[in-house]
């Protein structure tokens, strides 16, 4: 056991776990009140199965000192191979953090370790847990886990359909296209559409079987432009906003937070970071485009953005962010969408702005928006 000279009481133990498909490597360390680090022996390899999980727990307990201190596991999200261990530790009431690979990579760059092995990665994760306060991992409920699996499967099928549509279009416009090849492409697209329809039906069944989930999803689908599938993706990818503390954190998680890059005389235009959940951003795009047709408030907001920034894409991204924050507020407050609601300090809808957005004065929603602004 390697120690740094210190008699200060222990604050916590940390187990860094580097996971592969068949095995994982664990490294145990501790932090004391004097901020001293201790690493206990060499990192050890375990099989990535139920027997290996039980052996890990026994290994950790055997190496802990008699002095009581909380134990925290730090795991890197390597594909899906970490999930069984994560749920095992959660069932054992163990504290756990699951980190995205890029966060671990950035921390590794701050150290002087240039080599990369499984043992070194486990020790690095252990060191990261000793030096940083990491957010706890919260397991998904069975219904939420099924929603995430189904929505991701659906998105994968949609991605497969896109190149098939391009191939079908190209083959139809080529010289003397082969009728049998065209028929095969159409059958492939029809088969994918059939699978997507099956998933949509299963999603509806999952929601119907969970009355509380169905009730709260209804708040999101009350927003013009957001359907059941889009609402399911938003909720599944955010775990029902379980770990979201504020709007800024949510925007950052989706990669819709605005970043600025300036150095000396060089200053680039601000943009969204795109360093977040890409699935969540993709799920918001079509609702944002749809809301520009069916949602008067979003049309007015988009018009205000376009008045400052001619590029249409900037306005669409701004609407995506606004819709995401709106769904968070509706889910948190358990309220349906009110088109006449105008939070303090937000967009003031005027007749000129409505006209710029292409909304006529006899639109049933425009009157409510104007009356609300006059209060």
356 pLDDT exceeds 80? no
Please tell me the predicted confidence (pLDDT) of residue 336. 93
Please tell me the predicted confidence (pLDDT) of residue 372. 43
Judgement on whether residues 263 and 321 belong to the same structural domain of the protein: yes
Is 2 part of any domain? no
**CB neighbourhood size of 354 (10 A):** 22
- Mean pLDDT score of the chain, rounded to an integer? 86
148 pLDDT exceeds 80? yes
Is 358 part of any domain? yes
Judgement on whether residues 155 and 104 belong to the same structural domain of the protein: no
Average pLDDT over residues 115-126: 93
Is 339 part of any domain? yes
362 pLDDT exceeds 70? no
Judgement on whether residues 257 and 201 belong to the same structural domain of the protein: no
63 pLDDT exceeds 80? yes
Q: Which CATH number does the domain housing residue 36 bear?
A: 3.30.420.10
Please tell me the predicted confidence (pLDDT) of residue 41. 87
Using 50, 70 and 90 to split pLDDT, how confident is the model at 260?
confident
* CA nearest neighbour of 74 among 29, 125, 116, 25: 125
Is 273 part of any domain? yes
Using 50, 70 and 90 to split pLDDT, how confident is the model at 2?
very low
Judgement on whether residues 127 and 146 belong to the same structural domain of the protein: no
3-state secondary structure of 319: helix
The pTM score is 0.78
- Tell me the residue range of the domain where 51 lies: 10-131
Judgement on whether residues 224 and 343 belong to the same structural domain of the protein: yes
- Number of domains, the chain: 3
67 pLDDT exceeds 80? no
Using 50, 70 and 90 to split pLDDT, how confident is the model at 352?
low
Is 370 part of any domain? yes
Tens-place pLDDT, residues 207-222: 999 999 999 999 999 9
Dist. CA 358–CA 300, nearest whole Å: 8
Please tell me the predicted confidence (pLDDT) of residue 227. 93
Please tell me the predicted confidence (pLDDT) of residue 45. 96
Tens-place pLDDT, residues 182-238: 999 999 999 999 999 999 999 999 999 999 999 999 999 999 999 999 999 999 999
Percentage of residues of the chain with pLDDT beyond 70: 89
Judgement on whether residues 127 and 158 belong to the same structural domain of the protein: no
Q: Angle between the 228-237 and 312-333 helix axes, to the nearest 10 degrees?
A: 80
Is 137 part of any domain? no
Dist. CA 81–CA 98, nearest whole Å: 12
Judgement on whether residues 80 and 168 belong to the same structural domain of the protein: no
Q: Tokens representing 133?
A: 């306060």
Please tell me the predicted confidence (pLDDT) of residue 46. 97
Judgement on whether residues 198 and 224 belong to the same structural domain of the protein: no
Judgement on whether residues 253 and 183 belong to the same structural domain of the protein: no
47 pLDDT exceeds 50? yes
Judgement on whether residues 25 and 171 belong to the same structural domain of the protein: no
342 pLDDT exceeds 90? no
Is 214 part of any domain? no
Q: Angle between the 228-237 and 278-294 helix axes, to the nearest 10 degrees?
A: 150
Dist. CA 205–CA 203, nearest whole Å: 5
Is 350 part of any domain? yes
Angle at 135 between CA 7 and CA 22, to 5 degrees: 90
Tens-place pLDDT, residues 72-112: 999 998 888 999 999 999 999 999 999 988 888 889 888 88
Domain boundary (158, 181, 209) is at 209
Q: How far is CA 104 from CA 100, 109, 218, in A?
A: 7, 9, 38
Domain boundary (131, 166, 198) is at 131
Domain boundary (92, 110, 131) is at 131
261 burial via Cβ count (<10 Å: 0-12, 13-18, 19+): exposed
Average pLDDT over residues 163-187: 95
Which of 77-91, 253-267, 297-311 has the lowest average pLDDT? 253-267
* CA nearest neighbour of 362 among 119, 78, 354: 354
Judgement on whether residues 96 and 171 belong to the same structural domain of the protein: no
Which of 169-178, 183-192, 289-298 has the lowest average pLDDT? 289-298
Judgement on whether residues 370 and 224 belong to the same structural domain of the protein: yes
180 pLDDT exceeds 50? yes
Percentage of residues of the chain with pLDDT beyond 90: 58
């Amino acid at each position: 056991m390697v120690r740094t000279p210190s008699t200060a009481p222990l604050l916590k133990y940390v187990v860094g776990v580097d996971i592969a498909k068949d095995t994982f490597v664990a490294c145990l360390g501790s932090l004391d009140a004097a901020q001293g680090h201790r690493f206990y022996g060499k990192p050890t390899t375990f099989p990535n199965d139920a027997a290996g999980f039980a052996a890990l727990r026994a290994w950790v307990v055997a190496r802990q000192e008699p002095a009581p201190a909380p134990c925290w596991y730090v795991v890197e999200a390597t594909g899906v191979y970490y999930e069984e261990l994560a749920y095992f530790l959660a069932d054992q009431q163990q504290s756990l953090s699951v980190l995205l690979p890029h966060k671990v990579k950035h921390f590794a760059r701050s150290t002087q370790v240039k080599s990369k092995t499984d043992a070194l990665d486990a020790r690095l994760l252990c060191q990261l847990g000793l030096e940083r306060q990491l957010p706890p991992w919260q397991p998904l409920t069975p219904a939420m886990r099924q929603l995430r699996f189904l929505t991701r499967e659906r998105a994968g099928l949609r991605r497969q359909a896109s190149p098939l549509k391009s191939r079908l279009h190209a083959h139809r416009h080529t010289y003397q296209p082969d009728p049998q090849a065209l028929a095969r492409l159409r059958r492939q697209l029809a088969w994918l559409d059939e699978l997507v329809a099956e998933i949509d039906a299963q999603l509806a069944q999952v929601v119907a079987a969970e009355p509380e989930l169905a009730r709260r999803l209804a708040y999101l689908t009350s927003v013009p432009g957001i359907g059941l599938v889009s609402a399911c993706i938003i909720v599944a990818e955010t775990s029902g906003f379980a770990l979201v503390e504020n709007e800024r954190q949510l925007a950052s998680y989706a990669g819709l937070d605005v970043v600025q890059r300036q150095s000396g005389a060089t200053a680039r235009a601000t943009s969204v970071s795109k360093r977040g959940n890409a699935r969540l951003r993709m799920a918001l795009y079509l609702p944002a485009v749809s809301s520009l047709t069916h949602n008067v408030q979003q049309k007015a907001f988009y018009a205000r953005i376009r008045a400052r920034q001619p590029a249409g894409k900037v306005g669409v991204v701004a609407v995506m962010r606004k819709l995401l924050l709106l769904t968070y507020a509706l889910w948190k407050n358990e309220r349906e969408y009110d088109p006449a609601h105008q939070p303090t300090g937000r967009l003031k809808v005027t007749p000129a702005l409505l006209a710029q957005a292409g909304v006529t004065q006899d639109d049933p929603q425009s009157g409510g928006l104007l009356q609300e602004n006059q209060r």
